[in-house]
Amino acid sequence: MTMVSTPPSLPVRARANPQDRTAGSLSPMLRRLAEEQATGVLVREHGTLHLADGRVVHAESSRAPGLDVLLTAHGTLAGAAWQRAAGRAGGSADAAHLLLAEGALPEGALELCHLDALYDAGFFALSPSSAPGHFRYDSTPHLGPLPSVPVIALEHETLRRRLLLHRLWPDPAADSAPLIRTAPAAAAPVTPRARAVLDLVDGVRTAPEIARDLGRQAFHTLVDVRRLAGAGLLRPVPTAPAPPRDPPAPALTVTDPDIALLKRLRDALEAF
């Protein structure tokens, strides 16, 4: 497997003011919300974080499988049971609370899947964005028995995961683009877990889509994808190059004798 030695450091926001407690944080807004023990929803470009008293109680991202996928993919919970609970609840957290209250789901299994989903979606929610986030205060969060995590713990885990991916393979292009298998001269052996990922690489699916199909956390799938990319077994589908622009029309140079004659006649009429 191809490894990259001493990769460049990852970008982390920094503040010039040494008194600023948000210095070095992934999201200064999130850190300030934690300090003021805010309750509500922080919406960012790649995900959403739900806070209660300054702690993260739930996270969602289109790039990460939800709690329902993690619970139902491997038999922890029947898919029909989740669908019935979801139809009676207002969201995934409410559905989980309902299943727990009815005894349809072991508390330990729910807590484990909840934390897995939270850290997984939180990783993407805290990824670099091109648009500012916004926070909506809400005084009535649905906490229930599900565990919450401190903001700083989520940030530290997100940084640890970023660094791991960077060390495995520093090019993030394979994280979100459709993937295609390559045909190296001598294919390296892969683990059964990575083989399951590679078997779903078809030039259409992205890493998050493969994670959802396998019922796995998206971050763990990114680990497999980057290792496979480093081994030369897959790569992102090349993006189509921008179509070439038409060359500008050349300036008209009068060389035709008929055109030259017409110009002289026009000039003579104008002067008349």
Please list the rounded mean pLDDT of every run of 10 residues in the chain (272 residues).
44 47 74 95 96 94 93 84 81 78 84 94 94 86 75 97 97 95 75 94 97 96 96 89 62 52 58 54
Please tell me the predicted confidence (pLDDT) of residue 75: 78
Whether 52 and 88 share a structural domain: yes
Q: Is residue 221 part of a domain?
A: yes
Please tell me the predicted confidence (pLDDT) of residue 98: 83
Residue 54 tokens, joined? 């300054």
Please tell me the predicted confidence (pLDDT) of residue 1: 44
Classify strands 47-52 and 55-60 as parallel, antiparallel or unpaired.
antiparallel
Q: Is residue 242 part of a domain?
A: no
Q: How far apart are CA 91 and CA 20, in angstroms?
A: 36
Please tell me the predicted confidence (pLDDT) of residue 187: 67
Whether 219 and 89 share a structural domain: no
Q: Is residue 23 part of a domain?
A: no
Q: Is residue 110 part of a domain?
A: yes
Whether 147 and 71 share a structural domain: yes
Q: Is residue 13 part of a domain?
A: no
Q: Is residue 118 part of a domain?
A: yes
| pTM given for the model | 0.77
Whether 35 and 162 share a structural domain: yes
Q: Is residue 206 part of a domain?
A: yes
**What's the structural domain count of the chain?**
2
Please tell me the predicted confidence (pLDDT) of residue 157: 97
Whether 159 and 59 share a structural domain: yes
Whether 187 and 226 share a structural domain: yes
In Å, how far are 57, 94, 98, 198, 214 from 144, measured between CA atoms?
10, 8, 10, 39, 29
Whether 32 and 160 share a structural domain: yes
Whether 115 and 195 share a structural domain: no
Fill in the amino acid letter for 10. L
Whether 100 and 222 share a structural domain: no
* Among candidate residues 27, 53, 48, the one with its CA nearest the CA of residue 38: 53
Whether 219 and 132 share a structural domain: no
Whether 44 and 144 share a structural domain: yes
Please name the residues in contact with 66: beta carbons below 8 A apart, sequence gap of 6 or more.
60, 92, 117, 121
Whether 77 and 179 share a structural domain: no
Q: Is residue 255 part of a domain?
A: no
| 3-state secondary structure at position 248 | coil
Long-range contacts, 201-206 (Cβ 8 Å, 24+): 201/234, 203/178, 203/179, 203/237, 204/178, 205/178, 205/179, 206/176, 206/177, 206/178, 206/179
Please name the residues in contact with 37: beta carbons below 8 A apart, sequence gap of 6 or more.
53, 54
| 3-state secondary structure at position 255 | coil
Residue 177 sits in which domain range? 169-236
